[in-house]
Structure 1
């Protein structure tokens, strides 16, 4: 919710000190964090220190449903045999599996990966820079998820409505999804966005922000 990348190196140190098991939910990192898009573990160069990774076939991989857990063979086997959400779920639709496989191929191929990642981080940098210059308060850093902090739940909802009127689909988050007085609009940049679209989104934020006395 805050666009913050977990300090996995420090967490790994604590885990190893106490002989614990590290489980990482990487849904907001799979496909684009790290030099080859393998997520938070690759970003911090600690992939071999993580016991289990849980992630999604949605979000950066673009699927409508489905996810996965990877890790030690014995741990994964235990989950398959004891995890109620797994035991009582249906098999993924073939179309979802096919789309996810194609998305992973795009991420895994340096020829297709590099321009997509370059565009993503260029979009994120442009959005953060222009929004900060305009006077908005932003959370997080180094991530393509950029929360625009507003504080008031009603204000976040109103701003989201006015952004939608301008063709920008963003969602206002408020308590209990986020802490009280920490309402925000969470913006998720994508490599599919053009520079012009990002600039239009910022222009719309500034226009609405002035209308609602946010900036």
Structure 2
């Protein structure tokens, strides 16, 4: 796309001029409800730390202990000499937790989603994907030679139409692919209706449940469990980098034959170093904690509900829903600039949020995505809402 340095520089300047340049703000300590930034301490409302486990002392202790027992790294891929007993135990533990036959670990869920489609679906098959699926699903689907169909976000009439088109195209195997939770909106996929259509058309169902596993549904088993359709979902992918400790690592959980084939053919699995021992130990502890975390899940939902209630009262435009992802909208041509300015002002007031704009979200639909954690208190939530109000007032006074 870019022929020379001048073109790259010009493109970067255009991003800055549009108010879309993404700055990275270093943290000076661990992830948590309260973090230390270069500008001071701040309440953190933009992490995927849904259960508050990122700095949990039990997970930290398990990870430290593993360094003595299992070492720092494996210096190998799994099938050569990179599989430890604890990798197998974690895969078994995830399988038991999610009620699947087996599980395969990847270095991230991005890699898991990147490795699955090329292995399982060929030119004679069809992939029917939600239009707002995560980038990792989109990229993974592009690696497959299967026929591709896309349906409008959570639109079951359009999904039916695409399934009809896939059948008419002569697809041998059809798979419906969806996020369990759409991360920019906080919307749940309508899995019961999706499963009904899958049954009607003889299709498989694949769900990326990264923004649900650990804190949605019974025992935090995810969106399929919340809707009571666990046995109707064929393939689950997810991450260890959000609610389940917040470090890194991803997985695919599915039928035995699917996992067996992925171990033989999935390129990100075969050609990437195995997950670090300390991450494996921490994740195993996180899963054990998550299964018993009903009180934390209840508190998380209460805090999300409180934030929505207070922001509604303050007159902000929110996308509807109940998930701890809460999109505070700044629509229109100048929305991206306004959202960025509000987020910057809030950080000056000690509340850390992040603005999102095109190309992460559609043009004209800029937002500040707030993410509630079980580690947040009622006081934290009220402080965040007050910072939103104060930031808008400040921005108004300077003409933004």
Alignment pair present for 1:159 and 2:342: yes
Structure 1, residues 89-143: CA drift from partner, whole Å, max 9, x if none?
211111111111111111112xxx1220121011101100000110001113010
- Point out the more displaced range, 119-128 or 152-161: 152-161
TM-score w.r.t. the length of structure 1 is 0.94
Post-superposition offset of 1:64? 1.5
Post-superposition offset of 1:86? 1.8
1:48 — aligned with what? 231
Alignment pair present for 1:192 and 2:375: yes
2:392 aligned residue (205, 209, 212) = 209
Which structure 2 residues correspond to residues 27-66 of structure 1 after superposition, within 5 A?
Answer: 27-66=210-249
TM-score w.r.t. the length of structure 2 is 0.51
SS in 2 for 1:177: coil
2:257 — aligned with what? 74
More relative contact order, 1 or 2 (CA 8 Å, 6+ apart)? 2
Alignment pair present for 1:127 and 2:307: yes
Post-superposition offset of 1:153? 1.0
Structure 1, residues 33-66: CA drift from partner, whole Å, max 9, x if none?
1021100011100000000000000111123210
1:99 — aligned with what? 282
2:188 — aligned with what? 5
1:174 — aligned with what? 357
Post-superposition offset of 1:145? 0.5
CA-based RMSD? 1.3
Flag as ranges the 4+ runs of structure 1 deviating above 4 A. none
Post-superposition offset of 1:194? 1.1
1:145 — aligned with what? 325
Bigger radius of gyration among the two: 2
Gaps of 5+ in 1: none
Alignment pair present for 1:86 and 2:266: no
SS in 1 for 2:218: coil
Q: 1:5–1:142: 8 Å Cα contact kept in structure 2?
A: no
- Point out the more displaced range, 24-33 or 158-167: 158-167
Structure 1, residues 5-36: CA drift from partner, whole Å, max 9, x if none?
11000011111111111110000000011021
Query: What is the number of equivalent residue pairs in this alignment?
Result: 211
Q: Distance in 2 between matches of 1:140 and 1:70?
A: 30
Post-superposition offset of 1:80? 2.0
